[in-house]
């Protein structure tokens, strides 16, 4: 740290703040100049401000009134105290009380609210409603803020996206004060607060993910995948008369055959026929799919490497050359029965599904998040919307809770919080503002502080102690949990992009169709060796052995849902503006659109548009 005693000029002050990534309003700039701070003192104040919970990378007079008065007390030896603050910069109340006796405590500008959730103290900063506009050191205001001036207002007021999502993608670059949580003035009582949470962890890989990375382990997980899916396939009505591949290879006559095989490779011939090699633990065989087999030929488009299926065909043996090939008549996927029975609870409750909050990112949509918090607290919306919010008993977050550190090159340039521990500390603060009767379940994603390869364990306690202190249910990825009897599969969804790239007709804007392929394959990442990193553990945790009532994924930052064979498939949107990676994939994010699922009598999903729908 410099020890310079030279008093900086206005320009040098502005440059100093600019180099620290801090914006400042003209009034605040003049105020700091009038204090006569030297460079060393200024650096100390910047450092102290940076660690303040109310600081948001810009300085206004409100910031100084909330934070700096306390910070100045630490510099009394250098005469950096509140007496040096010119009275013209003080609010009226401060002018009146400036000469009060020292033993009389001044009312703090920042209000402390005690959360019901484990008595966590939450700082709720006040909003600057004055005309103290921020002077941006990059000399440019975000175009998105100009296009959406309401985002500089309190989002408790009217917010309308005007169907211009693309224009809001980088609005986090703009400058605005943190939102103050609004007190509810209604006497509405959430029905969910009358019931205890009924949650059971049915499947969680966290304690079973030990591996040394040996070749034998890679082979073991593929064998386990084959065995698990074979058990599922053998329960299908089409499974009668199954043979092992080595038995088929010993046949000398042409005959109808049926076997369970894993796809080794698939290629199309110049005559538009498909040659597919299958294997099982006993051997391999080659098959041919002709265009004459219309139903089967169309289905082959969805058949990927490492899929495990039943092959129904005709073994064609050439007696002259003794060559053999199976002419495929039908392919049967593991899939699920068309009718899936769900044990609905008697209580009129709901589950809220979100993902990809990305706390710590510069692109995190703070105002949208706090509107969500207001909604969960039944402070936002019309009577119908508040009643719906009052039914929410569970909040499931499927991954990318924080933006993480070093997930991609030069990520630090897109981070507000560059420490993974502090990212989770901030996460705990934000989640502590959610009503304590709502049970939160968190499963990690590829940005979280766990390995990227799936299956992955729950976010560890040493990284996110605050989340454990909030009594949040922390599970691995993927996990199956029962929420009031509703079996919910939680999976971040990293394999969705692979599925979309390999199956013609699928795209990232339609996650529901991609999720159907997971159910059809009864596997959350059907193909090995793609962009999705798969860990070699003894058990394949990605097999959907127990049919869920809800499959919840994220990752794509797109909202989509639908029913497939009686199973509700939901892919959540996000709380982050469009990133460079999303832009490279052509994805315009669906931000601020949680899916609320009513679970009494039937699964009824409803997407709440926090930006446009709440009244």
Identify the band that residue 579 occupies on the pLDDT scale cut at 50, 70 and 90.
Answer: confident
Task: Identify the pLDDT of residue 197.
Answer: 97
Of 102-111, 257-266, 273-282, 363-372, the range with the lowest mean pLDDT is 102-111
Task: Identify the pLDDT of residue 160.
Answer: 38
Mean pLDDT of 464-482: 97
Task: Identify the pLDDT of residue 586.
Answer: 83
Task: Identify the pLDDT of residue 321.
Answer: 82
Residue 348's alpha-carbon distances to 351, 393, 567, in angstroms, are 11, 10, 19
Q: Residues 171, 172, 177, CA angle at the centre, nearest 5°?
A: 110
Judged against a pLDDT cut of 60, whether residue 163 lies above it is answered with no
Task: Identify the pLDDT of residue 370.
Answer: 93
Percent of the chain with pLDDT over 90: 57
Task: Identify the pLDDT of residue 188.
Answer: 77
pLDDT digits (tens, 9 = 90+) for 338-397: 999 999 999 999 999 999 999 999 999 999 999 999 999 998 888 999 999 999 999 999
More confident residue, 61 or 415: 415
Residue 109's alpha-carbon distances to 61, 104, 432, in angstroms, are 12, 15, 21
Percent of the chain with pLDDT over 70: 72
Asked if residues 613 and 360 have their Cβ atoms less than 8 Å apart, the reply is no
CATH T-level assignment (fold) for domain 202-209+339-607: Purple Acid Phosphatase; chain A, domain 2 (3.60.21)
CA dist 548 and 544 (Å) reads: 8
Of 78-92, 249-263, 431-445, 476-490, the range with the lowest mean pLDDT is 78-92
Of 122-126, 456-460, 495-499, the range with the lowest mean pLDDT is 122-126
Q: The domain 237-332 belongs to what CATH superfamily?
A: Nucleic acid-binding proteins (2.40.50.140)
Domain regions of the chain by residue span: 10-111, 202-209+339-607, 237-332
What is the value of pTM for the model shown? 0.73
Task: Identify the pLDDT of residue 277.
Answer: 97
Asked if residues 553 and 354 have their Cβ atoms less than 8 Å apart, the reply is no
The strand pair at 392-398 and 350-354 is best described as parallel
More confident residue, 605 or 92: 605
- Residue 530 DSSP symbol: S
CA dist 165 and 440 (Å) reads: 29
Mean pLDDT of 21-25: 67
More confident residue, 117 or 543: 543
Judged against a pLDDT cut of 90, whether residue 174 lies above it is answered with no
Judged against a pLDDT cut of 60, whether residue 72 lies above it is answered with no
More confident residue, 37 or 178: 37
Judged against a pLDDT cut of 50, whether residue 198 lies above it is answered with yes
More confident residue, 73 or 300: 300
**483 conformational bin, left if phi > 0, alpha if psi -120 to 50, beta if neither:** beta
Identify the band that residue 521 occupies on the pLDDT scale cut at 50, 70 and 90.
Answer: very high
**295 conformational bin, left if phi > 0, alpha if psi -120 to 50, beta if neither:** alpha
- Residue 475 DSSP symbol: -
């Amino acid at each position: 740290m410099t020890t310079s005693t030279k008093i900086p000029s206005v320009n040098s002050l502005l440059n100093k703040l600019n180099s620290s990534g801090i914006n400042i309003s003209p009034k605040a700039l003049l105020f700091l100049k009038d204090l006569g701070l030297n460079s060393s003192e200024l650096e100390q104040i910047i450092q102290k401000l940076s660690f303040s919970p109310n600081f948001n990378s810009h300085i206004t007079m409100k910031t100084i009134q909330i934070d700096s008065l306390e910070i100045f007390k630490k510099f009394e030896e250098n005469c950096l105290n509140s007496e040096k603050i010119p009275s013209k910069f003080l609010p009226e109340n401060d002018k009146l009380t400036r000469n009060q006796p020292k033993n009389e405590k001044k009312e703090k500008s920042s209000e402390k609210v005690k959360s019901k959730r484990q008595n966590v103290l939450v700082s709720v900063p006040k909003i600057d409603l004055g005309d103290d506009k921020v002077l941006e050191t990059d000399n440019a205001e975000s175009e998105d803020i100009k296009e959406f001036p309401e985002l500089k207002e309190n989002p408790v007021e009217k917010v309308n996206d005007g169907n211009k999502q693309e224009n809001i993608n980088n609005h986090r670059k703009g400058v605005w004060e943190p939102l103050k949580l609004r007190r509810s003035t209604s006497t509405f009582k959430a029905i969910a607060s009358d019931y205890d949470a009924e949650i059971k962890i049915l499947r969680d890989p966290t304690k079973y993910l030990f591996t040394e990375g040996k070749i034998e382990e890679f082979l073991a997980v593929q064998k386990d995948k084959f065995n698990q899916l074979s058990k599922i396939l053998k329960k299908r009505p089409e499974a009668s008369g199954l043979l092992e591949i080595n038995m088929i290879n010993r046949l000398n006559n042409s005959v109808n055959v049926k076997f369970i095989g894993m796809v080794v490779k698939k290629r199309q011939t110049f005559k538009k026929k498909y040659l597919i090699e299958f294997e099982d633990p006993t051997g391999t065989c080659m098959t041919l799919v002709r265009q004459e087999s219309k139903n089967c030929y169309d289905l082959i488009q969805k058949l990927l490497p490492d899929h495990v299926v039943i092959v129904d065909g005709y073994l064609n043996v050439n007696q002259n050359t003794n060559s053999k090939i199976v002419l495929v008549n039908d392919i049967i996927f593991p899939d699920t029965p068309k009718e899936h029975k769900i044990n609905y609870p008697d209580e009129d409750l709901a589950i809220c599904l979100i993902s990809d909050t990305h706390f710590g990112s510069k692109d995190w949509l703070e105002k949208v998040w706090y509107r969500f918090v207001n909604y969960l607290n039944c402070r936002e919306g019309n009577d119908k919307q508040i009643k719906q919010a009052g039914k929410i008993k569970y909040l499931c977050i499927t991954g990318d809770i924080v933006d993480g550190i070093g997930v991609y090159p030069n990520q630090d340039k897109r981070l507000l919080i560059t420490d993974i521990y502090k990212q989770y500390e901030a996460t705990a603060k934000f989640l502590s503002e959610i009503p304590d009767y709502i049970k939160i379940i968190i499963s990690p994603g590829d940005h979280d502080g766990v390995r990227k390869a799936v299956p992955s364990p729950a976010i560890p306690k040493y990284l996110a102690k605050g989340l454990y202190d909030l009594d949040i249910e922390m599970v691995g990825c993927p996990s199956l949990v029962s929420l009031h009897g509703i079996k919910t599969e939680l999976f971040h969804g990293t394999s969705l992009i692979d599925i979309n790239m390999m199956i013609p007709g699928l795209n990232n804007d339609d996650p529901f169709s991609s999720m159907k392929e997971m159910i059809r394959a009864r596997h959350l990442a059907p193909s090995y060796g793609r962009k999705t990193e798969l860990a070699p553990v003894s058990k394949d945790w990605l097999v959907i052995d127990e049919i869920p009532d809800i499959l919840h994924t994220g990752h794509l930052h797109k909202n989509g849902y639908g029913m497939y064979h009686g199973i509700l498939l939901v892919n959540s949107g996000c709380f982050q503006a469009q990133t460079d990676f999303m832009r490279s994939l052509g994805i315009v994010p669906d931000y601020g659109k949680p899916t609320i699922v009513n679970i009494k009598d039937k699964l009824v999903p409803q997407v709440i548009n926090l930006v446009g729908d709440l009244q």
